[in-house]
Amino acid sequence: MLALGKLLELTLAGREPAQKIQLTVDGVQMRWLSEGALEVRPPQALDACGDLLLSSGIHGNETAPIELLDRLLHGIARGEIKPRNRILFLFGNPEAMRRGERYLELDVNRLFNGRHEQNIGPEAIRAGELEQLARSFFSLPGRWRLHYDLHTAIRGSKIEQFALYPWKEGRQHSRHELARLSAAGMQAVLLQNKASITFTAFTYEQLEVEAFTLELGKARPFGHNEGVDVSRLETRLMQIIEGTEPASETLEGLQLFAVAREVIKHSDAFLMHLPVDVENFSQLEKGYLLAEDVAKTRWVIEEEGARIIFPNPKVKNGLRAGILIVPTTDAGLV
């Protein structure tokens, strides 16, 4: 196997490869760009004009997606997977990966779309680097563009595998992309309705990419991901990479949700009235007091069918401590 196929091993060891460019027996080019960043380019005659960014490790302890990208890279380096589209593999927060931590000082996935410029430290610098790597990768005209940022969640979930679809003024969500997600094993998609500061929000809003944050199960240490079934996603990614993806336009079985409200933590007085082990997509009854904060701020459930995702009262002041979502339809898709 080519040494550049061992990007994860290099990243965890904090080493640069001796060779920055290598070719497989089929003429596929693997090019090391920087720590945790590798571009794969098919032979020009076989290029199907697609650009696929696969990122993981934005949170360093979410290991199942990291291991998935490692398997794909091994397959390419051995010549078992034969790319017909360009791929950029990114491990987002290498130092957090090495330490087995979600992040060191700052949550990298809250540092995009200008936020890294308002902060200092290695993770703010890394977010800027990731933006530049993505901007450069998606700079070629006339190609389709797709970004999957792969995560696992802090807590369990009543819907284990789901996606978040960013929003941009004047741009509609794609039925084709939702069907692709359904075929890849996603059970639900949250259609967002405001600008955000995540990595996929950056690529979607700034680079005109179809971009999705994928949540694949619960976070576990390296080597302990037997309970995280990413087989359907892995198969679909190999098909996208090789240009053999079967047509799929059905949304049957895919649940769609819209954001009703975000719960923002304003102060250290913030209280969230949920069990510590509450799962994502837990339903909340109308009239339920969800959270309280300073100045008599209260979040009371008013929406029919409301559910909570990403509840986290420990976030820093000013950040989102949870999202209230409600079921929606496919009426606005194109």
Listed by start position, the domains of the chain span 3-242, 261-327
Q: How many CA atoms lie within 13 A of 219 on its CB side?
A: 17
Containing H/E element for 54? strand 50-56
Overall average pLDDT of the 212-238 stretch: 87
| DSSP secondary structure string for all residues of 305-330 | T-EEES--TTSPTTSEEEEEEEE--S
Overall average pLDDT of the 292-299 stretch: 93
Q: Find out whether 309 and 190 touch, Cβ atoms under 8 Å.
A: yes
Catalytic residues: 215
Q: What sign for the dihedral angle of Cα 64, 212, 43, 139?
A: negative
Overall average pLDDT of the 109-134 stretch: 95
Q: Is the pLDDT of residue 129 over 80?
A: yes
Q: State in words which class domain 261-327 has.
A: mainly beta
* Number of C-beta neighbours around residue 2 at 10 A: 19
For position 332, what pLDDT does the model report?
85
Q: Find out whether 97 and 13 touch, Cβ atoms under 8 Å.
A: no
Q: What sign for the dihedral angle of Cα 270, 276, 281, 283?
A: negative
**8-57 per-position pLDDT tens digit:** 999 999 999 999 999 999 999 999 999 999 999 999 999 999 999 999 99
Confidence of residue 223 (pLDDT cuts 50, 70, 90): confident
**3-242: which CATH architecture?**
3-Layer(aba) Sandwich (3.40)
**7-20 per-position pLDDT tens digit:** 999 999 999 999 99
Return the minimum-mean-pLDDT range out of 139-153, 224-238, 254-268: 224-238
The DSSP bridge pattern shows strands 162-165 and 188-191 to be: parallel
For position 6, what pLDDT does the model report?
97
Confidence of residue 249 (pLDDT cuts 50, 70, 90): confident
For position 155, what pLDDT does the model report?
85
For position 224, what pLDDT does the model report?
66
- pTM here is 0.95
For position 254, what pLDDT does the model report?
96
**148-157 per-position pLDDT tens digit:** 999 998 888 9
Q: Is the pLDDT of residue 225 over 80?
A: no
Q: Find out whether 206 and 198 touch, Cβ atoms under 8 Å.
A: no
Q: Is the pLDDT of residue 123 over 80?
A: yes
Structural tokens at position 212? 């999705």
Overall average pLDDT of the 112-129 stretch: 94
Q: Find out whether 293 and 307 touch, Cβ atoms under 8 Å.
A: no
Q: Find out whether 169 and 144 touch, Cβ atoms under 8 Å.
A: no
Question: Percentage of the chain surpassing pLDDT 90?
Answer: 89
Structural tokens at position 215? 């949540």
Q: Find out whether 199 and 113 touch, Cβ atoms under 8 Å.
A: no
